[in-house]
Amino acid sequence: MTDIMVEVSGLTRRFDVSSPWLNRLLQREPRRILTAVDDVSFSIARGSTYALVGESGSGKSTIAKLVLGLLKPTAGQVLVDGSDLSATATAASDALRRRVQMIFQDPYASLNPRWRVGDIISEPIEVFGLEPDAGARARRVAELLDQVGLAASDATKFPHQFSGGQRQRIGIARALASRPEFIVCDEPTSALDVSVQAQVLNLMRDLQSELGLTYLFISHDLSVVRYMADQVGVLYLGRLVETATRDALFEAPCHPYTRMLLDAAPRIDGFGREHQTDGGEIPDPINPPSGCHYHPRCALATERCRVEVPAVSNLEGRQVVCHEATQILSGSVDL
């Protein structure tokens, strides 16, 4: 039995995106409900990285917010080390919050431009009452800056004095300040250039092995996911369509959507490669296709896929949500 850090079960979140009631009344519009996250379940082992990958509108960032307790789920729950973050504030959930932190996508928007770096990093230490003494806090800030590859003297500077990669390091130092065990990383490197992305990804991996961190790593970039993840979940229109270990997913993807996604990603060794694209795009999430959401784009789709939502099948240590999964894995159908 592996040691589970985070348990997400049956997580669902709907948003009401209807027009104001008078417009609905006058224009005889029905309510419009967007299901951003639809019955998503997964668990993350302590000290490992679970990656969620998907295109825009797949619900990745909504799941991040639900896991952090920034949004309340419509149904289902998130347990971090056995307790529920979205429960009403108690002493226990405050203690839990210290152990859960986040790294944001945009290092330009996530740091207060009027605060000195030292104040940004020491705020969580102060809020959680970890170091009551100001001198000790300053020492801790210096230690954190050193840990993320910046100089202790940078504490007196302002965010605008740093490049994008350095700002993301500041964001990481702030996330580490409360000595968390679990960090949600929402597209932490997609705003960065590749040479800087490599620095940040390496840093995150080093910190993980050094501090035993657990990551929920959210990205649209499969090559980055392959580099970071132990387990990967592929999202399509709010549903998990395939969950597998990194090696299983990248060596033998099973779900037709996963296969399409892997094929479509440009490869730096793919000289003159021609793509077999399905020609489709992500459908309107307010009126998603019936049955399996992917069926209008899927080469293998049958009448059953149009009508019936596929159940999760457990195949060779992976979970696939596809009617044809068994046939695909046995190689009896060609994509």
Partner 1 sequence: MSIPNASSASATGVQPVSRPSSSHDEPLLAVEDLVVEIPTRRGLLRPVDGVSFELNAGEILGVVGESGAGKSITGAAIIGLLERPARIASGSVRLAGKRIDNLTGDDLRRVRGGEIGTVFQDPSTSLNPLQRIGDQLAETARQHLDISRAESRDRALLALQEVGIPAAAERLDAYPHEFSGGMRQRVVIALALIGEPVLVIADEPTTALDVSVQAQVLTLLKRLCLERGTGVMMITHDMGVIAETTDRVAVMYAGRVAEIGPTPSVLVNAAHPYTRGLMASTPNPASDVAEGLVQIPGAMPGLLSIPAGCAFHPRCDRAVPDCKQKRPPRETINDSDVWCWVASQPQQARHD
Q: Which of 39, 55, 84, 131 binds partner 1 (CB under 8 A)?
A: 55
Q: How far is CA 76 from the centre of its chain?
A: 18
Which of residues 11, 51, 260, 305 is near partner 1 by CB under 8 A?
Answer: 260
Using only C-alpha atoms, the chain has a radius of gyration, in whole angstroms, of: 22
The only residue of 280, 290, 304, 307 in contact with partner 1, by rule CB under 8 A: 280
User: Taking CB under 8 A as the rule, does residue 258 contact partner 1?
Assistant: no
Q: Determine, following the binding rule CB under 8 A, whether residue 19 of this chain makes contact with partner 1.
A: no
Cβ 268 to partner 1 shortest distance, Å: 5
Q: Is 279 in the site for partner 1 (CB under 8 A)?
A: yes
- Structural tokens at position 232: 């990967």
- 288/37 Cα distance (integer angstroms): 12
Shortest Å, Cβ 125 to partner 1: 28
- Picking from 183, 175, 69, the residue whose alpha carbon sits closest to that of residue 124 is 175
Q: Of the listed pieces 12-20, 90-98, 187-195, 324-332, which binds partner 1 according to CB under 8 A?
A: 187-195
- Alpha carbon of 23 to those of 19, 20, 28: distances in Å? 6, 6, 8
- Specify the amino acid at residue 334: D
Q: Which of 4, 130, 152, 196 binds partner 1 (CB under 8 A)?
A: 196
CA–CA separation, 127 and 69 (whole Å) = 18
Assess 223 for contact with partner 1 (CB under 8 A): yes
Asked if residue 244 lies in contact with residue 319, where contact means CB atoms within 8 angstroms, the answer is: yes
Joined together, the tokens standing for residue 274 give 């021609």
182 φ, ψ to 5°? -130, 125
Q: Are strands 33-45 and 4-16 parallel, antiparallel or unpaired?
A: antiparallel
Give me the residues paired with residue 43 across strands. 7
For position 161 contacting partner 1 by CB under 8 A, the verdict is: no
> Are the beta carbons of 153 and 146 closer than 8 angstroms?
no
- Residue 121 identity (one-letter amino acid): I
**Shortest spacing between CB 72 and partner 1, in angstroms:** 28
Q: Which residues contact 161 (CB under 8 A, 6 or more apart)?
A: none
- Segment lying near partner 1 (by CB under 8 A), choices 64-72, 78-86, 157-165, 300-308: 157-165
CB of 223 to partner 1, least distance (A): 4
Site string for partner 1, 111-150 (x = CB under 8 A): ----------------------------------------
The verdict on 69 binding partner 1 (CB under 8 A) reads: no
Choose one: 18-26, 86-94, 274-282, 288-296; the region binding partner 1 (CB under 8 A).
Answer: 274-282
As beta bridge partners, residue 37 has: 13
**Side-chain half-sphere CA neighbours of 246 within 13 A:** 15
Q: Which stretch binds partner 1 (CB under 8 A): 94-102, 172-180, 261-269, 325-333?
A: 261-269
Q: Which of 215, 227, 240, 315 binds partner 1 (CB under 8 A)?
A: 227
* String of contacts with partner 1 for each residue 77-116, x by CB under 8 A: ----------------------------------------
Which residues are 183's β-sheet partners?
101, 215
Q: Binder to partner 1 among 29, 94, 193, 316 (CB under 8 A)?
A: 193
The gap between the terminal CA atoms of the chain, to the nearest Å, is: 36
The residues of the shown chain that bind partner 1, judged by CB under 8 A, are 55-56, 163-166, 193-199, 201-202, 205, 220-224, 226-227, 246, 250, 260-261, 263-275, 277-282
